[in-house]
Structures are given as C-alpha cells and as structure tokens.
C-alpha cells in the first residue's frame, strides 16, 4: 500500500457497538466508525442481550451517518450447511440497509456477498486469519476486499512487513481483550463446551461457566473443567479457557496467558508511520461506560499523534483510564512486542 504521502493520513478509530446506547456513545465520543452485529450466531459476539435487529440497525445507522460516522457490520462466523440461510439473510439485509462495510471471514459468505452485491464494501474480519500478504492477496483477488483486520499475533516488525506489501489498507487491534491464539483458528472452546467462535460466535460461553464458592475459596469452571481457583480476596477473572492457571511439568501458572488486555497506545507513532488505516477497539460485550472511556482516550491519542507525531507520548491519565477498564487491571503489548512471544 501507499505509505509515501508523508504519512499524514488520519488513522480511523473503529469502536465497538454492542447495542444502540453504546453506538450513540461511541459516535458522540469520537469514533470515526462503529462496528456491530445482528442478534444471532452470524457474528463473533453472539451473547444474550447484545446486538441489533433490523429496526435498531436502521436507527443506529441513521444516528451515526447524521454525525459523519461510518457503520460496519460483522458477519464473521463460519456457517455450516444447516444454518446457511441465516448468513445469507444477514448479507442480504446488510446490502439492503445502508452499512458502510461488511466485515466477513468465511470464504462462502464472502463469495456470496461479492457475487450478489458487487457494490457492498468488504473488509476481511480478524476471524479470517490473514497473517501475511499472500493470504490477503487471496481475499483481495477473489472477493475484492478493501481492508483487512490483522490477527493479534504479529510482531510490530511483521505488521510493518505486511503493511509494506499488502494490496489493501490494514486495520489493527488497539485495545481490549486479547486473543492469544490466531483468531479463526482456535477450537479450544468447542473442545470443552461444544461451542466455538467459528461455529457459534462465542468463546468460553457464559452458559458453560460455573462460579463455585468452596472452603478453599472461589473456583471457576467451564463445563466442569477447573479453569482457576482463587484465595479469599483474590480478584477472580471470567474463566476464558486460555487465561486459567494450569499445571505443566509440576508448575501451576498461567500456562497460556494471564488475564490481561491488549493496549497499543504507546505504539501509535509507529502504526501511523506504517500507514495503518484504522485502529480497532475490542469490546462489543462491554458496557456503554467502557465505550465512552476508551473512545475518549483513543480519540485524544490519535489526534495528538496526528498533530505531533515526533513528540507523541501517551498521557498518564489515558493509561490510568485504560488500566481501569482492562481485564485483570493489566495491559500488554501482546505479540507486537517480540519478548511476549
């Protein structure tokens, strides 16, 4: 992609909208775009009480568009033949409503959208697992995708290599819950609970979670599998499968990953210089209050970095705010930072 134009492009801030109140708050607090899903398993935040039906979608799109904010729709899970009609209907509805882009992952869904609705702008979802330029080229040449959301597994150097050679602009994750595994290629959840992000749109689904108070303290389980146990007064985390304490070679520790959130706000100058098109904020399942805080901080950071790339330093207040809404009250640079790997 073209990064030569003095790198003075504006990075787009893409914020989560789990429902209409969150959408409005994101729009009012500086989002350039919001992303959302319909109320079923066609998207990867298929949680009870979340997401949009048709009339709410219309209201959301109208609210955002009147204020110059774009709206993306995620149809980013993998349909099987028995449920195909739901994904097809979702694409049909996306084309009928005035969405600015459809975020999809499945080859069949992309093929259908590209052939039926050639004017519908397509983004490749992070669930599409495109971690290199040839994968991106596959989706670009076959379906004409116009942006790709990168999985959270690349180091900063690797992101830069992809940015240099990608046929389409890149969107990267800036903040929020961290997937340690390549998105779209993690079956841990269905192994334990029968439901995975690919098949059901949820990881470690709430219906499989058990919180048990015992004499030894709190235990968290997923479909009866012990994910973690806590001493009295030790803060407990949601039992996401990859973020529990397990035993390997006689040691008990966070064998896969700690409960922590990704935060790349310190990397903004590098991302700006690489020509990254958009920063995505994770968290459609989070509260409108979270959306407000995170959108405000990132709006300020992006504006600050844009105006003064060379002297940009993350504000202490921003970092404190982000910490306060992070998983386990801690943040990491994740795979961007090579030693993490």
Partner 1 sequence: MSTYIPKLSLGPVQYYWDRQSMFNFYEKIAQSKIDIVYLGETVCSKRKLLRRDDWFKIAHQLQNAGKEVVLSSMTLIEANSELAALKTLCSNLEFMVEANDLSAVQLLKGKPFVTGPAVNIYNPQSLRMLYRLGLKRWVLPVELSKDTLSDMQNKKPVNVETEVMVYGRLPLAYSARCFTARSHNLPKDDCQFRCLDDPDGLLLSTQESEKFLVLNGIQTQSAKTSNFISELDQLIELKVDVLRISPPSKHTDKIIDIFHQTLNQLCTTTQAYNSLQALMPAGGSCNGYWYGENGMDYCEFNQEKSVC
Choose which of 138, 230, 306, 312 interacts with partner 1 (CB under 8 A). 138
How far is it, in rounded angstroms, from Cα 176 to Cα 193? 24
Instruction: Count the residues of the shown chain that bind partner 1, applying the rule CB under 8 A.
Output: 69
Backbone phi and psi for residue 122, each to the nearest 5 degrees, phi listed first: -115, 135
Tell me the DSSP string of 292-329: HHHHHHHHHHHHHHHH-TTT----HHHHHHHHHTSGGG
Q: Return the number of the residue (6 or 215) whose C-beta is nearest partner 1.
A: 215
Q: Does 338 bind partner 1 (CB under 8 A)?
A: yes
* Residue in 194, 198, 219, 197 with CA at minimum distance from that of residue 207: 194
Place of tokens 């979270």: 290
CB of 130 closer than 8 Å to CB of 148 = yes
Terminal-residue alpha carbon distance, the chain: 27
Nearer to partner 1, 268 or 335 (CB): 335
CB 72 within 8 A of CB 14: yes
Please select the residue that binds partner 1; options are 61, 130, 163, 268, rule is CB under 8 A.
Answer: 130
> What is the C-alpha to C-alpha distance for residues 288 and 107, in angstroms, rounded to an integer?
33
SS3 149: strand
Cα–Cα distance for residue pair 322/34, rounded to 1 Å: 19
Residue 246 contacts partner 1 per CB under 8 A: yes
User: Which residue in the set 17, 180, 279, 333 belongs to the binding site for partner 1 (CB under 8 A)?
Assistant: 180
Q: Which of 7, 116, 142, 212 binds partner 1 (CB under 8 A)?
A: 142
Choosing from 7, 116, 252, 317, the residue that interacts with partner 1 (CB under 8 A) is 252
Q: What x/- string results for residues 203 through 232 when contact with partner 1 is judged by CB under 8 A?
A: --------------------x-xxxxx---
Q: How far is the CB of 27 from partner 1 (least distance, A)?
A: 33
In the set 55, 119, 251, 307, which binds partner 1 (CB under 8 A)?
251
Interface positions, 29-88, toward partner 1 (CB under 8 A): 78-82, 84
Residue span binding partner 1 (CB under 8 A) among the ranges 68-76, 192-200, 288-296, 320-328: 192-200
Q: Phi and psi dihedrals of 338, rounded to 5?
A: -50, -45
Residue 191 touches partner 1, criterion: CB under 8 A: yes
Q: Is residue 259 part of the contact set for partner 1 (CB under 8 A)?
A: no
7 φ/ψ sector (left φ>0, alpha ψ -120 to 50, else beta): left
Closer by beta carbon to partner 1, 146 or else 155: 155
The answer to whether the CB of 154 falls within 8 A of the CB of 170 is: no
| Residue range at the interface with partner 1 (CB under 8 A); choices 18-26, 241-249, 293-301, 319-327 | 241-249
- In degrees rounded to 5, what are phi and psi of residue 315? -70, 140
Interacting residues with partner 1 (CB under 8 A): 78-82, 84, 105-109, 111-112, 129-135, 137-139, 141-142, 153-155, 158, 161, 180-182, 184-188, 190-194, 196, 198-199, 223, 225-229, 242, 244-249, 251-252, 255-257, 335, 338-341
């Amino acid at each position: 992609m073209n990064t030569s134009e003095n790198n003075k492009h504006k990075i787009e801030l893409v914020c989560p909208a789990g429902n209409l109140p969150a959408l409005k708050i994101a729009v009012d607090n500086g989002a350039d775009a919001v992303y959302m899903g319909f109320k079923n398993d066609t998207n990867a935040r298929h949680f009870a009480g979340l997401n949009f039906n048709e009339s709410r979608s219309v209201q959301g799109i109208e609210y955002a568009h009147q204020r110059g904010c774009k709206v993306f729709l995620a149809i980013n899970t993998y349909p099987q033949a028995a449920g195909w009609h739901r994904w097809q209907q979702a694409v049909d509805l996306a084309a009928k409503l005035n969405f600015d882009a459809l975020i999809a992952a499945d080859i069949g869904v992309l093929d259908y959208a590209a052939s039926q609705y050639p004017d519908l702008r397509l983004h490749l979802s992070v669930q599409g697992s495109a971690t290199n330029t040839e994968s991106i080229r596959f989706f670009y040449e076959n379906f004409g995708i116009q942006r790709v959301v990168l999985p959270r597994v690349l180091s900063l150097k690797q992101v830069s290599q992809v940015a240099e050679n990608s046929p389409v602009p890149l969107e990267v994750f800036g903040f929020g819950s961290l997937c340690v595994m390549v998105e779209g290629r993690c079956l841990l959840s269905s192994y334990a609970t029968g439901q995975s992000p690919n098949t059901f749109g949820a990881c470690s689904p709430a219906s499989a979670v058990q919180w048990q108070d015992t004499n030894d303290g709190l235990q968290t389980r997923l479909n009866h599998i012990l994910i973690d146990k806590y001493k009295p007064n030790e803060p407990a985390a949601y039992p996401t499968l990859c973020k529990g304490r397990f035993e390997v070679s006689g040691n008990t520790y966070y064998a896969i990953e700690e409960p922590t959130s990704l935060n790349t706000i310190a990397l903004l100058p590098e991302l700006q210089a690489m020509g990254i098109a958009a920063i995505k904020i994770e968290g459609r399942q989070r509260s409108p209050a979270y959306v407000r805080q995170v959108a405000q901080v990132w709006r300020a950071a992006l504006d600050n970095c844009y105006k003064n790339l060379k002297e940009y330093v993350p504000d202490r207040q921003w970092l404190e705010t982000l910490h306060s809404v992070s998983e386990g009250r801690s943040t990491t640079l994740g795979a961007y930072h090579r030693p993490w790997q």
